[in-house]
Amino acid sequence: MTGSENTWTLDRRAFLISTGIMGLAQGGIALANMCQEQETCVGGLEAGGPQCIVDTNVYLFRWPFRRVSDDSTEKLVARLRRYGVVEAWAASLEGVFHADMRGVNQRLVKECARWSDLLRPCGTIHPGLPDWEEDFRHCVDDCGMKVLRLFPNYHGYPLDSPVVEALLLMAAKRGVLIQIVVEMEDSRTQPYLFRVPPVDLAPLERLLKRIPDVTIMLLNAHRTCSPTQLRRWMESGRVFVDLNMLEGVGGIERLVETVPVERVCFGSFVPLFYFAAAWLKMRESRLAPEVQQTIASGNARHLLEGLLTG
Amino acid sequence: MSREESAFEIWDVHVHLAGIAGQTPADRLGKLLEYADRLGIRRVCVFMGTTFQYDPSPEEMAQANREVRQAIERFPDRAFGFVYLNPNHLSASLDELNRHVADGPMVGVKLWVAKRCADPALDPLVERATELKAVVLQHTWLKTTGNLPGESTPQDLAVLAGRHPETTFIAAHSGGNWEYGLRAVRPYGNILVDLCGFDPTAGVTEMAVRTLGAERILFGSDAPGRSFATQLGKVLGADISADAKRLILGENLRRILRPILQQKGIRL
């Protein structure tokens, strides 16, 4: 194929989305779809892009080492909506660095409540802190959270720590999804005085065998884990993975050649990465529309529905 | 192609043949172009062969350039070639430069990690490239984890560019640690940067435009090791003007290649 009309249509569409002038173009290229959630899905099927996205890897607030465009929630929400995101699983960047986790999670819940139709708060648990069990209880019982996020490398505990097993047991018992963030930044570009290696996932297999009912999603895992490793963990337990940090041309189509497609969920890592990178990645891979939609939203929805219904 | 469509034509300054399957180099490029088509990328600049060699021997260098030449000659309306040179083998590198740029279809030079580019040993290569109107793309990284022994930093390229103000250089990867790299090359107007080969970290393109101006920034992917999509997302997802995006996505590369393309009689 050489510069076909379809290619041009996407190119122009992506450009228009990114420049925020999509509204002006709608009459000309007939693109806005309305989905069941009554959100405008700019990445419509006619462009071969995902629609009605559930983004499982979102953050609110500021990263301490740089300012980025969407570290105000208003701007972030506007961008997510523009790209057709209908639900965003959002954790707090404060949770990576702060120790007052109750305060971190309360601010997150309050902020998410301003856009409750879009933002699902995902509390941070630091099982190395004294009384972390109370944070778990607060998130699950007081705030009704079904998704919690861990940062083992930033918080300084290994996955074979007894507190991790205790936490995963609680999560399995309460039907809560645990998201493990494997890394936040390429080690080659980290600040010289703040170097944090990726999480060592070797203990995961043993944990999955000991706690078969736990549900885990690995975020930002692809630089560290091969598809073959991921498949092994998926065969050992209820393990899911998001798409962020998946690189190489046709990355998604190559990933789902090895791992079950129903274990792969869309994740953008906004606001620290450009949302467009994740959105275009869905377009780059040759995926049947139903597969694309499964990854964009179906798997995350089914996962959450399963947790909600027990 | 309409005038409006032409304005959106995307050119990618940084593509390789290693890391994608194919019976021949041309087959590999053909597969890459299928992915490029899915994202509206019209032209790609290709360099280095089907395997990566940090410090290639003259024979390995020649083989890599033959592979690139075979690939681009299959797709003359889609791909340009840059000749891969090794400053540790000066005579052989000059021969390759003459074979593929002076007497062949290639339009640029690629330098990787064989020798840090501030070294005066590079001067004869840069001087010959400049005579031929070829652009010089130099890999640059400033790794928190430490560079390879011959791996150039953006500061190294600034030194080289200061000695050769008439040459057009491209700081590949914007120095990797781009918050440092963009600052390092800023005073040298003959250095442009490409945005490829590192994560799609928000803010890079905005800072590049702020620091260098949009005229000095090029879209590149580093495919197939990197995704065309993630790297394109750095430009399409940035909070910069539509005019700046057009420059970065293709107009700047067309501008810097125009002299050598005109010299070779290649019409766009």
8 Å CB contact of A7 and B39 = yes
Q: What Rg, from alpha-carbon coordinates, does chain A have?
A: 19
Using a CB-CB cut-off of 8 Å, the residues of chain A touching B228 are: 249, 280, 284
Give the model's pLDDT for residue B267.
Answer: 83
> What's the CATH code of the domain at A256?
3.20.20.140
Give the model's pLDDT for residue B8.
Answer: 67
Give the model's pLDDT for residue A308.
Answer: 80
8 Å CB contact of B37 and A247 = no
Question: Is B38's Cβ below 8 Å from some Cβ in A?
Answer: yes
Give the model's pLDDT for residue B268.
Answer: 79
Q: Find the distance separating the first CA and the last CA of chain A, reported in whole Å.
A: 48
A27 lies in some domain: no
| Residuewise pLDDT in 10s, chain B (268 residues) | 334 444 568 999 999 999 999 999 999 999 999 999 999 999 999 999 999 999 999 999 999 999 999 999 999 999 999 999 999 999 999 999 999 999 999 999 999 999 999 999 999 999 999 999 999 999 999 999 999 999 999 999 999 999 999 999 999 999 999 999 999 999 999 999 999 999 999 999 999 999 999 999 999 999 999 999 999 999 999 999 999 999 999 999 999 999 999 999 998 7
Chain B nearest-CA distance from A296, in A, is 16
What is the three-class DSSP state of B192?
strand
Chain B nearest-CA distance from A20, in A, is 9
CA distance A202 to B63: 41
Residue B213: phi, psi to the nearest 5?
90, 145
- The mean pLDDT of A223-235, rounded to a whole number, is 97
Using a CB-CB cut-off of 8 Å, the residues of chain B touching A277 are: 200, 227, 229-234, 237
Q: Is residue A32 predicted with pLDDT exceeding 50?
A: no
This model of the complex carries an ipTM of 0.96
A15 lies in some domain: no
Let me know: does A252 contact B198? Beta carbons within 8 Å. Answer: no
What is the CATH code for B3-263?
Answer: 3.20.20.140
3-state secondary structure chain A: CCCCHHHHHHHHHHHHHHHCCHHHHHHHHCCCEECCCCCEECCCHHHCCCCCEEEEEEEECCCCCCCCCCCCHHHHHHHHHHCCEEEEEEEECHHHHCCCHHHHHHHHHHHHHCCCCCEEECEECCCCCCCHHHHHHHHHHHCCCCEEEECHHHHCCCCCCHHHHHHHHHHHHHCCEEEEECCCCCHHHCCCCCCCCCCCCCCHHHHHHHCCCCEEEEECCCCCCCHHHHHHHHHHCEEEEECCCCCCCCHHHHHHHHCCHHHEECCCCECCECHHHHHHHHHHCCCCHHHHHHHHHHHHHHHHHHHHHC
pLDDT tens column, A243-272: 999 999 999 999 999 999 999 999 999 999
Identity of the amino acid at B200? P
* Contacting B residues, span 64-83, partner chain A, CB-CB under 8 Å: 77-78
Total beta-carbon pairs less than 8 A apart between chain A and chain B? 162
Give the model's pLDDT for residue A231.
Answer: 98
CA distance A121 to A25: 34
Mutate to test the interface with A, among B147, B201, B248 (most CBs of A within 10 A): B201
8 Å CB contact of B203 and A185 = no
Let me know: does B207 contact B178? Beta carbons within 8 Å. Answer: yes
Give the model's pLDDT for residue B218.
Answer: 98
What is the three-class DSSP state of B3?
helix
Q: Is residue A218 predicted with pLDDT exceeding 90?
A: yes
A8 lies in some domain: no
Residues facing residue B192 across a β-bridge: B170
8 Å CB contact of B202 and A271 = yes
CA distance B114 to B122: 11
Q: Is the peptide bond between A271 and the residue preceding it cis, with omega within 30 degrees of 0? A: yes
> Which of B145, B202, B229 comes nearest A280 by C-beta?
B229
Chain B nearest-CA distance from A254, in A, is 12
> Which of A4, A187, A279 comes nearest B145 by C-beta?
A187
Print the domain residue range for A237.
Answer: 32-309
Please state the domain count of chain A.
Answer: 1
Question: Which residue of B lies nearest to A19 if distances are taken between CA atoms?
Answer: B242
More confident residue, A85 or A14: A85
A250 lies in some domain: yes
* Contacting B residues, span 167-186, partner chain A, CB-CB under 8 Å: 176-179
Q: What is the value of pTM for the model shown?
A: 0.92
Using a CB-CB cut-off of 8 Å, the residues of chain A touching B245 are: 15, 18-19
Burial of A136 (0-12, 13-18, 19+ CB in 10 A): buried
A11 lies in some domain: no
- The mean pLDDT of A25-39, rounded to a whole number, is 26
Q: Is residue A42 predicted with pLDDT exceeding 70?
A: no
Residue A54 tokens, joined:
């559930």
A88 lies in some domain: yes
What is the three-class DSSP state of B194?
strand
8 Å CB contact of B199 and A195 = no
8 Å CB contact of A280 and B8 = no
Let me know: does A286 contact A253? Beta carbons within 8 Å. Answer: yes
> Which of A67, A188, A274 comes nearest B200 by C-beta?
A274
Question: Which residue of B lies nearest to A253 if distances are taken between CA atoms?
Answer: B35
Residues 6+ away with beta carbon under 8 Å from B125: B85, B87, B90, B93, B94, B97, B109, B111
Let me know: does A278 contact A67? Beta carbons within 8 Å. Answer: no
Mutate to test the interface with A, among B9, B239, B247 (most CBs of A within 10 A): B239
Per-domain residue ranges of chain B: 3-263
CA angle A70, A20, A297 (to 5 degrees): 65
Identity of the amino acid at A229? Q
Q: Select from B94, B120, B121 the least CA-distant residue to B109.
A: B94
8 Å CB contact of B227 and A284 = yes
8 Å CB contact of B40 and A191 = no
- The mean pLDDT of A173-200, rounded to a whole number, is 97
Give the model's pLDDT for residue A117.
Answer: 98
Mutate to test the interface with B, among A57, A70, A188 (most CBs of B within 10 A): A188
Q: Select from B81, B9, B46, B124 the least CA-distant residue to B260.
A: B81
Let me know: does A296 contact A51? Beta carbons within 8 Å. Answer: yes
Let me know: does B175 contact B182? Beta carbons within 8 Å. Answer: yes
- The mean pLDDT of A138-144, rounded to a whole number, is 98
A54 lies in some domain: yes
* E-only strand ranges, B31-92: 41-46, 79-85
